[in-house]
Amino acid sequence: MSVAQRINEIKNELPASTRLLAVSKFHPAEAIMEAYEAGQRLFAESHVQELMRKQEQLPSDIEWHFIGHLQSNKVKYIVPFISLIHSVDTEKLLEVINAQAQKCDRVIPCLLEIHVAQEETKYGFDFSSAKELLESGRLGVLKNVSVVGIMGMSSVTDDVSQIKREFASLSAFYHSMKESVMPQFRELSMGMSGDYHIAIEEGSTMVRLGTTIFGERQY
């Protein structure tokens, strides 16, 4: 099946409230253009250098998202054009994004990455520290970032009920914050190739699919 056929198949099964983010990391510009020709406009990368190279080379109406661990010293390279940063994992990083965004007079939409998986190595806030930040009022002074939701990844496991529990906990947190202090919340970014059907059931607004669209990555 071609990239275009896969895109169309996935789009047909997504509910109207869930958007498709094509994760193009490690895939060449030609593969991205195949998806683009099929109408896909939202793409995500997880490495700054690779993202910059592709952004320069590819059509300017692509909406680029960043989903990888972002180092503070590289923020300045992506703030001029990035549409959404999914992977804000510390308050310090949010402050750096705010400072750099101010320099180019932009307001950058960001998601707080929440750590729910059992793996120790994953980045992100736990629920209590994210809640503390969102309720603190400290975001109010960061005029050049807009925190519009959360992102999470499930554990690497075959236990469907565990994945479902993790996504359900992200969804519950998202809705409780939206109903209390964050009425501007609009993105619940969860679901990858192996688990996006479960994420959709739990209310994902954006699934991040790489392998399902482009096949295995060549590292």
Name the site residues for ligand PLP (rule: CB under 6 A).
23, 25, 46, 67-68, 153, 192-194, 208-212
| Closest of 192, 163, 200 to residue 44, by C-alpha | 192
Q: Which is nearer to ligand PLP, 106 or 194 (CB)?
A: 194
Contact residues for 87 (Cβ-Cβ < 8 A; gap 6+):
46, 66, 67, 68, 69, 70, 111, 113, 123, 151
> Residue for token digits 């991205």?
32
Nearer residue to ligand PLP within complex by CB, 144 or 155: 155
Q: How far is CA 205 from the centre of its chain?
A: 10
User: Which residue number, 144 or 193, has a Cβ lying nearer to ligand PLP?
Assistant: 193
Of 46 and 100, the one with the shorter C-beta distance to ligand PLP is 46
Instruction: Compute the least distance from the CB of residue 22 to ligand PLP, in Å.
Output: 9
Q: How far is the CB of 219 from ligand PLP (least distance, A)?
A: 11
Q: How far is the CB of 191 from ligand PLP (least distance, A)?
A: 8
Classify 9 as helix, strand or coil. Answer: helix
CB of residue 90 to ligand PLP, shortest distance in Å: 16
Residue nearest to ligand PLP (CB): 210
Segment holding 190, helix H or strand E: strand 187-190
Report how far residue 174's alpha carbon sits from residue 131's, in angstroms, rounded to the nearest whole number.
10
